[in-house]
Amino acid sequence: MSATTMTAVPPDLAGRDCLTVSAFSPEEVQGLIRHAYWLKEQKKAGKHYAPLTDKTLAMIFDKSSTRTRVSFETGMAQLGGHALALNRQELQLGRGESVEDTARILSGYVDAVLIRTFQHELVEQLAENASIPIINGLTDLHHPCQAFADVMTLAELKPGRDDLRLAYVGDGNNVLHSLAEAAALTGIELVAATPPGYEPDAAIWQQAQALASTTGARLHLTHDPREAVADADAVYTDVWASMGQEAEKEKRQRDFDGFIVDASLMNFARSDAVFLHCLPAYRGLEVAAEVMDGPQSVVFQQAENRLHVQKALLVSLLVGNG
């Protein structure tokens, strides 16, 4: 998909939830990316576009956040709306009010809820009981908003490619889960290398494989980073210990020995390969500083695209194309 194929018309997702990438069709994901690129061009041109005037987004954070909070709050403001940043302790959830009651109450106050938390089941429970769109800002199983930005970035950097090969090196975590679903829906070949015992969730990977079979995408798993990176157009990594896994940090550093994305590993990729990271990054652990700060790194373009793709998601879920 070419990023230059942009449109002012968002996909009509009005009233729907965004819990996983796989909740959407290939056409809906492509429409979302095209609209995100149009929004990016409008912002660069200094043009005002405010379809979310008088709309309010409630943002619940059980996990700390930089990119998710700032991009969604800024995005709502740029689209004419308003965002409320909350944490569990500021809500009656922190004193035992049920998720069901909270969902119903918020549905009467705001137009959508973004939640960034640990258990994916909590987000599903919120969506089941709310009458407004629920957006998954990250759970232990999925990170759909990040994957949309990843696909947008690849479309910008490698336009029109129907044979794109993406290598992922690291933990089989929420980022890889959503990346696999996004690759499957957009026809990208994804080769993921994880240490033994750190493979992605089997059910999620199988579902992504099933999606890939309908689009012509190919998904592969290996334990060899060099095999994954060989001839890759893009190389992606994430932290080895995510939030909530701090106690495992030393063990994970031992288990992930040999999985650092450094210059020698990047040499197995194509000469014009780019480096991706969802951030935050820890130089000297999952990525060498020479790669993170080198000419192949596009991590800050990737991070900026979180803003544009999330604006497109907000427009699509809150007003659609009507």
Q: What residues are annotated to the active site?
A: 116, 143, 146, 238, 278, 306
116 labelled binding-site residue: yes
What is d(CA 147, CA 209) in angstroms, rounded to the nearest whole number? 16
According to DSSP, the residues that pair with 222 across neighbouring strands are 193
Fill in the amino acid letter for 176: L
Run of H or E residues at 175: helix 174-186
| Six token digits for residue 184 | 């499957």
Distance CA 306, CA 70 (A): 10
Q: Is 278 annotated as a binding residue?
A: yes
68 in a labelled binding site: yes
Sheet hosting strand 82-87, strand order edge to edge: 82-87, 56-61, 112-116, 134-138
CB 99 within 8 A of CB 93: yes
d(CA 215, CA 284) in angstroms, rounded, equals 37
- Strands of the sheet containing 234-237, edge to edge, are 219-222, 189-193, 165-169, 234-237, 274-277
**Does 144 appear as a known binding residue?**
yes
Residue 306 marked in a binding site: yes
317 is in an annotated binding site: no
Any known ligand binding at 92?
Answer: yes
**Does 165 appear as a known binding residue?**
no
237 is in an annotated binding site: no
Tell me if 145 is assigned to a ligand binding site.
yes
Q: What's the 3-state SS for 28-60? A: HHHHHHHHHHHHHHHHHCCCCCCCCCCCEEEEE
Cβ atoms within 10 Å, residue 176 = 28
- 18 among the known binding-site residues? no
Helix (H, G, I), strand (E, B) or coil at 15: coil
Residue 209 assigned as binding residue: no
254 annotated to bind ligand: no
Is 66 a known ligand-binding residue?
Answer: yes
Cite the annotated binding site for carbamoyl phosphate by residue number: 65-68, 92, 116, 143-146, 278-279, 306
Residues belonging to the binding site for L-ornithine are 174, 238, 242-243
- Which residues are part of a known binding site? 65-68, 92, 116, 143-146, 174, 238, 242-243, 278-279, 306
